[in-house]
Structure 1
Amino acid sequence: MANSLKMLAESLAKEGIASIRYDKRGVGENTALMIKEEDLLIEQYVEDVNKIIKYVKSEDKFRNIHIIGHSEGSLIGMLAAQNSKVASFTSLAGAGRPADVLLKEHLDSKLTPELKKESTEILASLKEGKPIANVSSELQILFRPSLQPYLMSWLKYDPAKSIQKVSAPVLIIQGARDIQVPVKDAQILKSHKEDAELMIVKKMNHILKDAPENFKGNIATYSDPTIPLSPKLVEAISGFIQK
C-alpha cells in the first residue's frame, strides 16, 4: 500500500486541517455494511458521505466542511456536494468522462476482437439499465451479474455534467504522469466548470506521488509507502481550503 491518503490527511493536519477518512462499503472494516454485492449502488456511497457530513456538522467543532474526492471518489464527492452544504470540493485524479467511455478505452487494448465486441455490447446494455445474464468467463471479473447493479448505477452519471451542479468552489488537480486517468479528463471537468481552479502536477501519478515516466517505475510507486506525496499537492489543497 502506498498510504497516499493517510499521508495527505497527516500533511493537512500539520496545516491545521482535520480530516475524516473511512473504508467504503465492502472494504476493510466496513465489509459488514455490504451484505450482498448485488445490493450495492453508487448512491449508497454518496449517502455515506452525506451522513458523515451531517455527523460532523452535529459535532459543532469545525468552521467549514470540505470534500476531497480521489479517483472514483471524485464523482462520489461531486454528487455528495450537491446534497450537502460544503465550503469547497477538490477533485483528485477524477474522471471527466462517463464510466463506460473509460472502461471501453482501457479494455480495447487488452481484449481480443471477440471479447472487445462483447464488452462493448455489455456496456451499452448496462447503460440502458438492462442487465446481461450470460457473460464470458474472461469478462466475469468486471461484468459478473452480481456487480452489474453497481455498474448500472455508476453509468448513469457523467462527471462533466455532475461538476456543473456543484455550487461550492472547486479545485481540480491532475497528475501529468497518471496512467489511469489522463490529463484530458481534468481539462474536460474544467471546461464544464469554468470558475473551477485547475492544477496539473507535472510528475505526479494516480496515487499522488512523483513517478518516473516509464510504466514499470510508475507502477512500482503503488506499493512503496516510503515515497512522499508530490511536493506541490498539499500546498495547493491547503491553500485552496484556507482561502
Structure 2
Amino acid sequence: MKKNKQIILIIFLLSISGYSQEITGKWSGNLKVQGTQLRLVFNINQIENRYISTMDSPDQGAKGIPVTSTSFENSILKIEMSNAKIEYQGTLGKDNNIIGVFKQSGQFFPLNLSKKSVEKEELIRPQEPAKPYSYYSEDITFENKKANIILAGTLTLPKKDGVFPVVVLISGSGPQNRDEELMGHKPFLVLADYLTKNGIAVLRFDDRGTASSKGNFKTATSLDFSTDVEAGVKYLQTRKEINKKKIGLIGHSEGGIIAPMIASRSKEIAFIVLLAGTGIPGDELLLLQQELKGKASGVSEENLQKTKNTNKGAFEIVSKSTNSEQLKIDLTNYIKQTLKDNPNAEKPEGISEEDFVQLQVNQIASPWMQYFIKYNPATTLEKVKCPVLAINGEKDIQVPPKENLEAIKKAFEKGKNKNVIIKELPNLNHLFQECKTGLPNEYAKIEQTFSPIALEEILNWIVKQVN
C-alpha cells in the first residue's frame, strides 16, 4: 500500500536544555513527512500576559490558521490546534533555535524552528504537464447518494466534443487528492495527461474527506471507498461525451483492491487495470511488507522475527474480533505485555508508555485497518469476469510482485476468467518509478513520476479493449 502501516514507530524526540528567551515573532521550519518537505510558520504575538498565535502552511496555500492555545514557560514552547488535532512542543536553545516535535492525529514528526525564513524545496518533476493542456479539462462534482456526500474531481476529455472511452482512477491507501499526490509526485496527473492525450477520457477525484471532497475519511473502509467510485461511474453515464459501454477502472495499490469489488458486482465495467493490486490477505501483506522493508534497510534477522511475531499476534487478535470496544481492550493488554516482555523495544522518546500504547491501538483498531487485515482479495477476484490487466514493479516491496501476482493469477484461473494479462515490469517500484532499491525513502528523490514503459503498457492494453 502507499503508506506502510507499521506497528512500531521509530521516531526520535529531539530536545535540548535552554533558557528563557524572546519567543514572539515568526518561527519557520520544514516538516519532513515520507520524504517530502512541508513548510510551516508559527506567528507568535504577546498580548499582556498571554500569547496568541496563527499558523501558515505556504506550500498548501494556507495562511493565518488559528491556534487554540500557545504557552511558553521554562524555554518550552507548546502550541495546540484542537480542531486539526495538532500539537507542537519544542525547546528554545541558546542558539535561538527551537528543537521539537510536531504531532497530528497520533503521528509524531521532528520539527525544528528558527527565525530564518525557510525556502521552498524545488523539486524536479519533468513529467508533470503544464497548463494550458492540449485537451479539455473540467473540474466537476458528483454525489454518492449511498453515503450522502459530494465528491470533487477532474474530468479530462481528448476534445470538448465527441464520444470517448473513459477510465476512473482509484487511489491507494491514505487520504489522497485527485492527483494521488505523495512524496512530491502526482502520479494520477501524469497518468491522466498521458491517457487523455492518447484518446482516453479520465475521471480522477479527491478521496472522501480530502481536499475538495466531503465526507469522513477516518471512518471509511475499502468497501466504503468502492461506493465513491461507483458514484463516479454513475456520473460518467450522465455525460454525453462518454461511451457508456467503454467505462473502465484503473486502481493503484488499495485501488487495486477496490476496482475488482466494483467489477465483480457490476456489468457496466468494461475492463479493469490493477497497478500493484493485492492478491493475498491483508494481514499476510502487512507482515511481508515489513519483512522486505526491514531486510532492505539492514535490520537483523533476529529483530525482523521479533517484530513479525509481535505484529502477527496483534493481527490475530483483530482477525478474531467481533466487537470494536473489546478489540481495543485486548490490543491494549497485548501491547502492554509486549512492551513488558521486550523492555528494549524501540519507541519514540518523550512519549509516555500509555500514550504510545494508545497510539498503536488507535492505528490497528481503526475501521480501515480492521477491514484490511481481515480482507482476502482473492475471493473477489474470482468473481471478476471482465478483461483485466494486472501489473507490478519488480522492486515493489509494498505489494511484492511474486506473491501477489501469483495469487491474482490463481484467483482468475479459479474463476475461469481467461481474458487476463499479468506482468511484472523490471526495475520498477511501488509507484512504477525506475529505481535502485524499491524502498519508500527513494520515492521523493527520484525525478521520474511514472515509468514511460509502464504508461505505454497500460495504454496499449486499454486501446485493445476499447477498439
Instruction: Tell me, yes or no, whether TM beats 0.5.
Output: yes
Any idea what SS the aligned residue of 2:380 has?
helix
Deviation at 1:65, TM superposition (A): 0.5
Q: Any idea what SS the aligned residue of 2:242 has? A: coil
Task: Provide TM-score, normalisation by structure 2.
Answer: 0.46
1:79 alignment partner in structure 2: 261
The partner residue of 1:124 within 316, 328, 350 is 316
- Structure 1 3/224 Cα, relative in aligned 2: closer, same or farther at 3 Å? farther
Q: Shift in Å at residue 140 of structure 1?
A: 5.2
Match of 2:343 in 1: none
- Residues in 2 aligned to 1:167 and 1:215: alpha-carbon distance in whole angstroms: 32
**CA deviation after TM superposition for structure 1 residue 186, in Å:** 1.5
- SS of residue in 2 equivalent to 1:186: helix
Match of 1:44 in 2: 224
Change (3 A) 1:112 1:182: closer
Structure 1 residues 55 and 129: alpha-carbon distance in aligned structure 2, compared to 1, 3 A threshold: farther
Per the alignment, residue 133 of structure 1 pairs with 328
Output the CA distance in 1 between the equivalents of 2:319 and 2:448: 39
* Structure 1 stretch displaced more, 110-119 or 76-85: 110-119
Structure 1: unaligned runs, 5 residues or longer:
none
Distance 2:369 2:457 in 1: 33
Structure number with the higher strand fraction is 2
CA distance in 1, matches of 2:360, 2:237: 37
RMSD: 2.6
3-state SS of 2:206 partner:
coil
d(CA) in 1 for partners of 2:185 and 2:405?
Answer: 23
Structure 1 position 219 matched with structure 2 position 437 = no
Q: Report which of the two structures shows the higher radius of gyration computed on alpha carbons.
A: 2
Q: Alpha-carbon deviation of 1:122? A: 2.5
Pair 219,145 (structure 1): closer, same or farther in 2 beyond 3 Å: closer
Is 2:225 the counterpart of 1:34? no
Shift of 1:91: 0.4
Flag the 1:98–1:2 CA change in 2: closer, same or farther, 3 A.
same
Kindly provide the amino acid, as one letter, of the partner of residue 236 in structure 1. E
Q: What is the rounded CA distance, in whole Å, between the counterparts of 1:112 and 1:65 in structure 2?
A: 44
The answer to which structure, 1 or 2, has the higher relative contact order (CA under 8 A, 6+ apart) is: 1
**Structure 2, unaligned runs of 5 or more:** 1-183, 336-354
**Letter of the 2:204 counterpart:** R
Of 380, 383, 399 in structure 2, the residue corresponding to residue 162 of structure 1 is: 380
CA positional deviation for 1:219? 3.2
Which of the numbers 171, 185, 190 marks the counterpart of 1:7?
190
What does residue 176 of structure 1 align with? 394
Q: Distance in 2 between matches of 1:149 and 1:233?
A: 33
Q: Structure 2 vs 1, CA of residues 14 and 167 (structure 1 numbering), >3 Å: closer, same or farther? A: same
Aligned partners of 2:216, 2:459: CA distance in 1, in Å?
33
How far the C-alpha of 1:76 sits from its partner, in A, is 0.8
Q: Percent identity?
A: 27
Q: Which moved more, 1:224-233 or 1:58-67?
A: 224-233
TM-score (norm 1): 0.85
Contact persistence 1:178–1:204 (CA under 8 A)? yes
Contact 2:429 2:438 (C-alpha < 8 Å) held by counterparts: no
- The amino acid of 1:186's aligned partner reads L
SS at match of 2:205: coil
Q: Does 1:151 align with 2:397?
A: no
Count of paired positions: 237
Could you give the per-residue CA deviations for residues 151-181 of structure 1, whole angstroms, max 9, x where no partner exists?
A: 2223343122211111110101111111211
Return the structure number with greater helix share. 1
Q: What residue in structure 1 maps to residue 421 of structure 2?
A: 197
Contact map agreement 2:251 2:259 (CA 8 A) in 1: yes
Out of 206, 217, 232, the position equivalent to 1:23 is 206
* In 1, Cα distance between equivalents of 2:360 and 2:273: 28
Distance 1:230 1:191 in 2: 27
